Amino acid sequence: MATTRGNLACLLLDTLASTGVEYAVLHGEDRIAEGRADSDVDVAVAAAPHQVVRSLAPMLAASRLVLGLVWRYDVGALASLWLTAPGPDAAQLDLVCDPDGYGRYGVRTGALLQRRVRGRCWWRLDGPAERLYLLSRRVEREDRPGSVRLLDIRPSERQLLARLSNQVLADWRRPRVVRLLEGAPAPASRLPPLQVRLLRAEQLAGRAMQCIGCWLTIGGDPTGEAMRAVHGSFARVLPRTRVLDGAAPLVVMHAQVERRRAGLAISRPVPCIRPDLALTAGEPGANSRILACLARRASQTLQALS
- Residues 100-129: tens digit of each pLDDT: 999 999 999 999 999 999 999 999 999 999
Q: Are residues 135 and 59 in the same domain?
A: yes
- pLDDT tops 80 at residue 255: yes
Cα 66 to Cα 144, 168, 296, distances in angstroms: 38, 34, 10
| Element at 11 (helix H, strand E) | helix 6-18
Q: 230: helix, coil or strand?
A: helix
In a domain, 200, yes or no: no
Range of the domain at 248: 210-305
- Phi, psi at 173, each rounded to 5°: -95, -35
Q: What is the mean pLDDT of residues 139-143?
A: 91
In a domain, 152, yes or no: yes
277-280 sheet: strands from edge to edge: 240-244, 263-267, 214-219, 277-280
In a domain, 275, yes or no: yes
Q: Is the dihedral of CA 50, 203, 104, 144 positive or negative?
A: negative
Q: What is the mean pLDDT of residues 274-296?
A: 95
Number of domains in the chain: 2
Instruction: Identify the band that residue 2 occupies on the pLDDT scale cut at 50, 70 and 90.
Output: low
Q: Are residues 189 and 227 in the same domain?
A: no
pTM of the model: 0.93
Instruction: Identify the band that residue 186 occupies on the pLDDT scale cut at 50, 70 and 90.
Output: low
Q: Please check whether residue 24 is in contact with residue 44, taking contact to mean a CB–CB distance below 8 angstroms.
A: yes
Last residue of some domain: 165, 195, 225? Answer: 195
Q: Are residues 229 and 154 in the same domain?
A: no
DSSP assignment, residue 125? Answer: E
CATH number at residue 93: 3.30.460
